Amino acid sequence: MEHASKVRTCFWFEKGGHDAAQEYVTLMPDSRIEAVRENGQPDDPMVVEFTLAGAPMMILTAGPHHKLTPAASISVLTEDQDETDRLWAALTAKGGEAGRCGWIVDRFGVSWQIVPKRMPDLLASEDPGVVSRVSEAMMQMEKIDIAALEAAAAKEPTHG
């Protein structure tokens, strides 16, 4: 068997890993299922190797021994507000849960960070006032709103 990548991220699922991988590969270009190993469970294969936006991933469906946690997440750097909105809607659909500051837990229990490229650019400003205002605005958001971050960055500081 040919392996596409020496290193890949693996998520341990109790059940439903194949369903999750099939949904994930519909979210972004350069995504596909690469290999499925059933291990006697054709309705819920044990291993699914896939590529997500060019990144190698794997889901191991192996029972309740380990739980998914936000300590490991899929971080997606989006191009614009449209892509941010589209992914946010897809990942919160069917029982996904929106968190703060661009975080989502999807219906399968996997944590995601949906981050517009503009946000880290603004947070890397050499102006500490911009960084502070953008950080403060971001902390009030669930889904990241690029226009609101831009407005916070452009806001004149108050003196008093």
Whether residue 158 is predicted with pLDDT greater than 70 in this model: the reply is no
Whether residue 110 is predicted with pLDDT greater than 70 in this model: the reply is yes
Q: How many other C-beta atoms are found inside a 10 Å radius of the C-beta of residue 57?
A: 21
Q: How many angstroms separate the CA atoms of 72 and 110, rounded?
A: 8
Whether residue 53 is predicted with pLDDT greater than 90 in this model: the reply is yes
Structure token pair of residue 7: 């290193």
- For the chain, domains (ranges, CATH) are 1-66 (3.10.180.10), 68-160 (3.10.180.10)
Q: Which residues have C-beta within 8 Å of that of residue 132, sequence separation ≥ 6?
A: none
Whether residue 41 is predicted with pLDDT greater than 90 in this model: the reply is no
pTM for the whole structure: 0.90
Residue 3, pLDDT score: 61
- Tell me the pLDDT of the chain averaged across its residues: 93
Identify the band that residue 6 occupies on the pLDDT scale cut at 50, 70 and 90: confident
Note the helical H segments in 40-127: 81-92, 118-123
Note the helical H segments in 3-102: 17-24, 81-92
Strand partners, 124: none
Residue 157, pLDDT score: 67
